Amino acid sequence: MALKSSRYRKVGPASLSQRTEPRHTVVISSASLKRKGNKPIAATLLDISIYGCRFEADAIFKEGEKVVVTMDEHEPVNATMVWQKTRQAGCRFADALDTEVLRALTLSA
């Protein structure tokens, strides 16, 4: 049941950006994801922040699945899958990405 105060009042859409850190658009086709005990899966990194990334890959991931993300020549990063829709998916890094690595990735894109 609606409250009287909002019953006839239009409510605007929720804020789309609820992130604490901004995402940086990149196109890095030399990224890969690796599940425990499996071969790396080629991926294209589409955007990144210090806490996570969005990528495109020909694979199906489960929410909560642990993966290792490799980007260019940088150290691999442990991550957890958060969502997937068609070929795109997003993951959250276990530890915040070093700002120098983020800077190098965004400048190379």
How many structural domains are present in the chain?
1
Reported pTM:
0.76
16 part of a folded domain: no
Question: Residue 34 domain-assigned?
Answer: yes
pLDDT, tens digit, 9 for 90 and up, residues 38-90: 899 999 999 999 999 999 999 999 999 999 999 988 899 999 999 999 899 99
pLDDT more than 90, % of the chain: 61
Query: What domain range is 34 assigned to?
Result: 21-108
Name which of 22, 80, 91, 89 is nearest 52 in CA terms: 91
Other beta carbons within 10 angstroms of residue 37's beta carbon come to: 5
> What CATH number corresponds to the domain at position 97?
2.40.10.220
Alpha-carbon distance values, 11 to 5, 7, 15, 98 (Å):
11, 10, 12, 39
Q: Is residue 37 part of a domain?
A: yes
Residue 7 has pLDDT above 90, yes or no: no
34/104 Cα distance (integer angstroms): 22
Element (H, E) at 108: helix 99-108
pLDDT for residue 2 is more than 70:
no
**Is residue 40 a part of any domain in this protein?**
yes
